[in-house]
Amino acid sequence: MDNNYFLQYNKISVYIIAILISIFFILGHLLIGGILLLLYAFFITYNVKMFKAKKNEWRKFLEDFSSKLDISSRSVLVNSPFALAITGNKGNIMWYNQGFLKIFEKEEVLGKNIEEIIEEVNIDEIISKEKKVFKRVSIKDKYYNIFININNKPSTRDKAIILYFYDVTEEVKLAGEIEENKYSIMHIEVDNLSDVLKTTVEDNAVILAAEIERTIKNYAQGLKAMIVKYSSSKYVVVVHYRNIEEEMQKNFDILDEIREINFGNKLAVTLSIGVGCDGDTPIQNHELAISAKELALSRGGDQVVVKTKDKLQFYGGKTKEFEKRTKVRARVIAHALVNLINESSNIFIMGHVNPDIDALGAAIGLRSIVKALGKEVHVVLDKANSGIENPIERIKENNLYKEIFISKENCIKTCDRNSLLILVDVNSKEYVQDKELLDIIGRVVIVDHHRKSTTAVEGTLLSYIEPYASSTCELVTEMLQYMIESPKQHIIPIEAEMLLAGIYVDTKNFYFKTGVRTFEAAAYLRQLGADIIDVKKMFAGHLETYLKKAEIMSLAEVKNDIAITLCPPDIKDNVLAAQVADELLNITGVQASFVLVKIEDEVFISGRSFGDINVQVILETLGGGGHMTIAGTKLKNVSIDEAKEKLQDAIDKYLREGEE
């Protein structure tokens, strides 16, 4: 407001009166005009004076009110039911009330920096206005929401920061109790009940079955859970999440307890358990549990998989896998695959990064089947690595290379919306030979013998993952008998030899992971014309290769029956590293071996064992996978020494858990 306020807001009236007075003067009525002019001047003067008086009264009222407000504000700050503290813009505590003092149990905090006594508070975030509240801050066994208010001090650049502490301890405790009391769903399946009972004397079989059921129900009772048996070997359990957390701490010792049951059974009893947690609804936890159990089964059983909406955790999986697949499943999968092939315009077959002979043999075997079905088919391969050089040379000698293989670029040009991509010897999207093809070709089938990975390709039309098989070539050999009529007319000897070579290598000359079905597949391939001598010749090595192997083996360190060796910097061949891992098992006293090789910015680790030490569990903690006796992984952006240190930590953890 100013002295011209009256004139400013009454301009129209003033102008009208002034014009009227002027008219009187113009018309010659000087006396009347003069009187009106005097009255007009008096009117203006009077109103200006009255406005000034009102203005002074208003100013005084505001000053009195502000004074009273400051007193009131100070009273509110001092007597506030909330704990308060005021700091400078550096965080130093300048003032606090009794509530704040009580929080810190009368500890002297004046002058201290707020960040020193409350770690969660960050002054920089407050000043930049990134943070207006710090939620659930733990102070002296209580929890507070800290609200922030910033006041600029007059005529200075300093800021006064007011912190309001609102006690939310009860809220946090209640949320914790709700979280602890959330229900989780657990699905339990006895992996091999029928097979175990078959190997048990009839009189003991009934007792054994009853003991298995009693052990599982006692376990559920110990968890204070509800349990329902819905088939001869399957149970569903509803349990509080807090009890699941306790089981996770104990690594689900039910796996060991059930394995120790013995009533003359020749096979150990094992469980596959899927746990669904953190779902928004009970049905979501049920779906998570079903998915987790399927993953446990696909990884070989005898383990627990705990699945939340965004995380997977694995426990157990330390026993040898027991073959429980059937030829019925192989026949069903074979017929389903034939239908998919017939519905597709063309078919492409692809293995994993740096394909080995199992991937190559399976791909060539499937290619021969698809060709016999009258469909256009190619195996995707850009470059042969050292592990498959000899088999590729055999293919070239038979003038089949151009007919069988296709480059990635030509594959992209040839494929269409109705193309089918068959992945062999791999199920993880991180290890496929080419991720781009996986994205381009949406219709995908998987045929693999590795345990299902946490990064497994999703949305497949058909997934045939059998961790009990010795090799992917074994799976393909079984399927081809059901996929085409008169296989002898369609499979030429070199194709049969490639399949046999895959089995030969993955079983380490038929002494690893072999079963009756493995020898049946090998015998069938012999009938198709595979020559074991020609297969053996495929793996004849050069003298230079043997010398490199000897050099790497000479650097091995053996501790706790585990051999670890690093490839020299000039050796950059992960296939050679895998071969050395196999050779190290021939050394007396070595139960498991690990070979590390650095290629560009990645360190590849190959693990092998006789089965007493589970290399798959060890390398899975480093992001890898495979089988109990054969596994691998790769670490990015680490030195080979750092990779060795991480591997040693994983081994130590595995050994500690085995002792508990």
pLDDT over threshold 70, residue 516: yes
pLDDT over threshold 50, residue 155: no
Q: Is 649 annotated as a binding residue?
A: no
Burial profile 344-378: b = 16 or more Cβ within 10 angstroms, e = fewer: bebbbbbbbbbbbbbbbbbbbbbbbbbbbeebebb
Domain boundary among the residues 268, 284, 316 is at 316
Range of the domain at 172: 80-176
Q: What is the mean pLDDT of residues 625-629?
A: 77
Q: Are residues 348 and 494 in the same domain?
A: yes
618 is a domain residue: yes
Query: What CATH number should be reported for the domain holding residue 559?
Result: 3.10.310.30
Q: Who's near 585: CB < 8 A, 6+ residues apart?
A: 592, 593, 608, 609, 610
Q: Are residues 520 and 635 in the same domain?
A: no
322 is a domain residue: no
Query: What CATH number should be reported for the domain holding residue 268?
Result: 3.30.70.270
For residue 413, give both structure tokens: 């040009």
pLDDT > 70: percent of the chain: 90
Tens of pLDDT along 420-473? 999 999 998 888 999 899 889 989 999 998 877 778 888 899 999 888 788 999
280 pLDDT band, cuts 50/70/90, is confident
Q: Are residues 85 and 72 in the same domain?
A: no
pLDDT over threshold 60, residue 408: yes
Q: What is the mean pLDDT of residues 47-52?
A: 74
Question: Do the beta carbons of residue 627 and residue 616 sit within 8 Å?
Answer: yes
CA atoms within 13 A on the CB side of 550: 6
Domain boundary among the residues 316, 346, 376 is at 316
User: pLDDT at position 62, please?
Assistant: 47
Q: Is 601 annotated as a binding residue?
A: no
pLDDT over threshold 70, residue 273: yes
73, 263, 624 from 638: Cα distances, Å: 60, 50, 15
Domain boundary among the residues 41, 56, 77 is at 77
261 is a domain residue: yes
Q: Is 582 annotated as a binding residue?
A: no
Q: Are residues 68 and 94 in the same domain?
A: no
Alpha helices in 405-537 (DSSP H): 408-414, 435-440, 472-483, 493-506, 516-527, 532-537
For residue 197, the one-letter residue type is L
Q: Are residues 161 and 193 in the same domain?
A: no
Q: Is 158 annotated as a binding residue?
A: no
Q: Are residues 109 and 211 in the same domain?
A: no
The bridge status of strand 183-190 relative to strand 159-167 is unpaired
129 is a domain residue: yes
Question: Do the beta carbons of residue 366 and residue 447 sit within 8 Å?
Answer: yes
Q: Are residues 503 and 356 in the same domain?
A: yes
70 pLDDT band, cuts 50/70/90, is low
For residue 437, give both structure tokens: 């093809």
Tens of pLDDT along 92-138? 888 888 788 888 876 777 778 888 888 888 888 888 877 888 988 98
Q: Is 356 annotated as a binding residue?
A: yes
Q: Who's near 91: CB < 8 A, 6+ residues apart?
A: 113, 114, 115, 121, 123, 161
pLDDT over threshold 50, residue 5: no
For residue 188, give both structure tokens: 């339990």
The listed range with the strongest mean pLDDT (73-77, 336-340, 629-633) is 336-340
User: pLDDT at position 348, please?
Assistant: 96
User: pLDDT at position 7, please?
Assistant: 46
Tens of pLDDT along 296-321? 887 778 889 999 888 888 888 655 55
Q: What is the mean pLDDT of residues 414-425?
A: 94
32 is a domain residue: yes
6 pLDDT band, cuts 50/70/90, is very low
Mean per-residue pLDDT of the chain: 84
321 is a domain residue: no
The listed range with the strongest mean pLDDT (92-101, 181-190, 651-660) is 181-190
Q: What is the mean pLDDT of residues 472-490?
A: 91
Q: Is 352 annotated as a binding residue?
A: yes
Q: What is the mean pLDDT of residues 532-558?
A: 85
Number of Cβ atoms within 10 Å of the Cβ of 410: 12
User: pLDDT at position 130, please?
Assistant: 77
Alpha helices in 156-280 (DSSP H): 169-180, 193-198, 202-222, 241-249, 254-259
Q: Are residues 102 and 72 in the same domain?
A: no
429 is a domain residue: yes
Q: Are residues 60 and 107 in the same domain?
A: no
User: pLDDT at position 183, please?
Assistant: 87
Report field, pTM of the whole predicted structure over 0.75 = no
Domain count for the chain: 5
Query: What CATH number should be reported for the domain holding residue 145?
Result: 3.30.450.20
Q: Are residues 402 and 471 in the same domain?
A: yes
* Least confident stretch, 60-64, 114-118, 579-583, 637-641: 60-64
Burial profile 391-404: b = 16 or more Cβ within 10 angstroms, e = fewer: bbebbeeeebeeeb
* Least confident stretch, 52-56, 365-369, 455-459, 628-632: 52-56
Q: Are residues 196 and 135 in the same domain?
A: no
Q: Are residues 165 and 185 in the same domain?
A: no
pLDDT over threshold 50, residue 2: no
Q: What is the CA radius of gyration of the chain?
A: 40
